[in-house]
């Protein structure tokens, strides 16, 4: 690799702008090209942002000679993009979720390993100072051993959000609803704090957005971890107004700590912290409710976190080290989401298969009348 890292961006939707700006701030790194299946959109993106090259396919973009790629395409397309790039020896930073089924994700990780390329996945909320503080407290034993957790995701996505893009809220293009598209960030943090998830019992359904989306708008689950610890998860995009997210961890010494995000996209804080000698408490709602934040504004406020994760990815590529969030890390959160879907479908607990094992078939449709899943 030359001293200059040449980067391409695949997919020119909203989040691609964050990636471009994040790379632009790094010395010796240049976005040299973009591609999109809508080549006119790729050309407009490149023209408006001063990117030298635009293409209508990944094959054309790879021919420019890129060293690394950001993948900003719809969820089910990630596998094909990553396999082609990794097979060409190109390092990849892939937007979440890594894929919509675990077998595809495993193939992506295996291909990256076989071709000795770095595969990182965007879970930028791990870079929240509050999330880093909670992880440090766990690593340093200040909570004892995590034994109880809770993940709460109370967001709002109205019909305008789904009407803006016909693929949103579909199984084929989104791969799921609130769990796959929004709450997977929080599932990633929960398992990062609590450890390896091994079993899930769940319910899910479409309670408010019936007729608007195919997928779930609400879900709840009990998750068991290999340590014996347990956690609950509740998630919806039908809250009105949006009340943000919160993850709470209680340790074996009785201490409780959390990380709370309100409004959505803001820099999350440690709102409750009862670590001995460091006790404090606050409220993210102390100044009242601020209303719903448009999704494009949420993406904009997350740019500083994208900068941190992109910088980590570039450093990992340059120094041949493990990135902060690997492909295998991302598979863990995907396994939890898929297990929730399967448990909601069957009404039974679902054991989460360890890495390298195949998983259940794609999730069936929900019976929206009762809020559970039914066979196709």
Q: How far apart are CA 132 and CA 125, in angstroms?
A: 9
Which strands, in side-by-side order, build the sheet including 197-205? 280-281, 272-273, 256-261, 244-251, 146-154, 230-236, 218-225, 197-205, 350-351
C-beta of residue 157 within 8 angstroms of C-beta of residue 264? no
Rounded Cα–Cα distance for residues 276 and 253 (Å): 9
Q: How far apart are CA 296 and CA 303, in angstroms?
A: 11
Residue 3 confidence (pLDDT): 83
Per-residue pLDDT of the chain in tens (376 residues, 90 and over written 9): 558 999 999 999 989 999 999 999 999 999 999 999 999 999 999 999 999 999 999 999 999 999 999 999 999 999 999 999 999 999 999 999 999 999 999 999 999 999 999 999 999 999 999 999 999 999 999 999 999 999 999 999 999 999 998 889 999 989 999 999 999 999 999 999 999 999 999 999 999 999 999 999 999 999 999 999 999 999 999 999 999 999 999 999 999 999 999 999 999 999 999 999 999 999 999 999 998 999 999 999 999 999 999 999 999 999 999 999 999 999 999 999 999 999 999 999 999 977 655 443 333 343 433 333 332 2
Q: What is the pLDDT of residue 367?
A: 42
Burial of 232 (0-12, 13-18, 19+ CB in 10 A): middle
Could you tell me the two tokens for 354?
């360890």
3-state secondary structure the chain: CCCCEEEEEECCCCCHHHHHHHHHCCCCEEEEEEECCCHHHHHHHHHHHCCCEEECCHHHHHCCCCCEEEECCCHHHHHHHHHHHHHCCCEEEEECCCCCCHHHHHHHHHHHHHCCCCEEEECHHHHCHHHHHHHHHHHCCECECEEEEEEEEECECCHHHHHCCCCCCCHHHHCCCHHHHHHHHHHHHHHHHHCCEEEEEEEEECCCCECCECCCCEEEEEEEECCCCEEEEEEECECCCCCEEEEEEEECCCCEEEEEECCCCCCCECCEECCCCCCEECCCCCCCCCCCCCHHHHHHHCHHHHHHHHHHHHHHHHHCCCCCCEHHHHHHHHHHHHHHHHHHHHCCCEECCCCCCCCCCCCCCEECCCCEECCC
Residue 94, exposed/middle/buried by CB under 10 A (0-12, 13-18, 19+)?
buried
- Residue among 149, 331, 135 at smallest CA distance from 224: 149
Distance CA 100, CA 112 (A): 18
Q: For 82-122, write each residue's pLDDT tens digit.
A: 999 999 999 999 999 999 999 999 999 999 999 999 999 99
Q: What span, in angstroms and rounded, lies between the C-alpha atoms of 123 and 258?
A: 18
Domains of the chain: 5-124+303-325 (3.40.50.720), 126-290+331-373 (3.30.360.10)
Q: Length of the chain in residues, anyone?
A: 376
| Nearest alpha-carbon partner for 364 in 143, 204, 184 | 204
């Amino acid at each position: 690799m030359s001293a200059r890292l040449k980067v391409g961006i695949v997919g020119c939707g909203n989040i691609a702008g964050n990636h471009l700006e994040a790379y632009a701030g790094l010395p010796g790194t240049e976005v040299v090209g973009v591609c999109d299946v809508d080549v006119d959109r790729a050309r407009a993106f490149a023209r408006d942002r001063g990117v030298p090259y635009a293409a209508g396919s990944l094959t054309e973009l790879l021919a420019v000679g890129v060293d690394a790629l950001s993948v900003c395409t719809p969820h089910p397309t990630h596998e094909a993009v990553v396999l082609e790039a990794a097979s060409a020896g190109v390092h990849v930073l892939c937007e979440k979720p890594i894929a919509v089924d675990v077998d595809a994700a495993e193939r992506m990780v295996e291909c990256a390993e076989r071709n000795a390329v770095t595969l990182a996945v965007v879970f930028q909320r791990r870079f929240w100072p509050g999330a880093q503080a909670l992880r440090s407290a766990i690593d340093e034993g200040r909570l004892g051993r995590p034994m109880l957790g809770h993940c709460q995701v109370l967001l709002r996505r109205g019909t305008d959000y789904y009407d803006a893009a016909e693929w949103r809220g579909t199984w084929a293009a989104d791969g799921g609803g609130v769990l796959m598209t929004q709450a997977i960030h929080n599932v990633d943090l929960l398992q990062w704090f609590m450890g390896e998830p091994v079993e899930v019992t769940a319910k899910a359904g479409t309670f408010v957005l019936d007729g608007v989306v195919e997928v779930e708008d609400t879900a709840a689950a009990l998750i068991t971890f290999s340590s014996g610890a347990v956690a609950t998860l509740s998630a919806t995009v039908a809250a009105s107004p949006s009340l943000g997210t919160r993850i709470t961890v209680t340790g074996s010494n009785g201490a409780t700590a959390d990380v709370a995000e309100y409004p959505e996209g803001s820099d999350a804080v440690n709102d409750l912290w009862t670590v001995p000698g460091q006790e404090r408490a606050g409220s993210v709602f102390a100044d009242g409710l601020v209303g719903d934040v448009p999704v494009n504004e949420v993406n904009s406020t997350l740019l500083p976190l994208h900068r941190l994760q992109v910088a980590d990815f570039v450093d990992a590529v340059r120094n041949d080290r493990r990135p902060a969030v690997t492909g295998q890390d991302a598979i863990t959160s995907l396994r939890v989401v898929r297990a929730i879907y399967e448990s909601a479908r069957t009404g039974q607990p679902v054991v989460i298969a360890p890495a390298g094992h195949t998983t259940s078939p794609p999730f069936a449709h929900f019976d929206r009348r009762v809020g559970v899943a039914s066979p196709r």
